[in-house]
Amino acid sequence: MKKQIEKFDGELKIIYSNIFNIYNNQLKINSIGNYKIIFKFVKNPTNKSIFTIDGDNKKKEIIIHLNNFDNSIGTATTKPINILHDNDTQKNIYFSIFARILNKETDFRQVGVTFYEDLL
């Protein structure tokens, strides 16, 4: 049986991390703390890179709207962001994200996302 390698960032345990190439301004990831996480990339004329979080506990779904994460050098969160408390495990779930585009003429976007949980 293969032993699973545990990963940590300080006091947070890394529970999932991956890099994706997406083409439709949306990324869906299932089974993070029994939730479906949806990242939606939105262009906003304010030129501010901000995000908002909407949740639906009945659907077990969280939507994260990422405004202006469309820089060719990259845009990222500066620390892990708490997005939910998993009642099953009694742990908080956090995420961090890095996204960049190839250029303004294509819908290609490279997205690196990491999810974390508290240590008990």
Q: Is residue 64 part of a domain?
A: yes
Stretch 9-36: mean pLDDT: 94
Q: How many domains does the chain have?
A: 1
Dihedral pair phi/psi, residue 104, rounded to 5°: -75, -15
Cα–Cα distance measured from residue 10 to residue 79, given in angstroms and rounded to the nearest whole number: 12
Higher per-residue confidence, 36 vs 2: 36
Residues 6+ apart with CB under 8 A from 26: 38, 39, 40, 41
Residue 107 lies in a domain: yes
**109 in a domain, yes or no?**
yes
Asked if residue 1 belongs to a domain, the reply is: no
Residue 89 lies in a domain: yes
Residue 2 counted as domain residue: no
Q: 74 lies in a domain?
A: yes
Integer Cα distance of 91 and 60 in angstroms: 16
Residue 38: other Cβ atoms inside 10 A: 16
Q: What is the pTM of this model?
A: 0.89
**Tens digits of residue pLDDT in 26-75:** 999 998 988 999 999 988 777 677 788 898 878 889 999 998 888 889 98
Per-residue burial over 24-34, b if 16 or more Cβ lie within 10 Å, else e, is eeebebeebbe
Range of the domain at 82: 7-118
Is residue 36 included in any domain, yes or no? yes
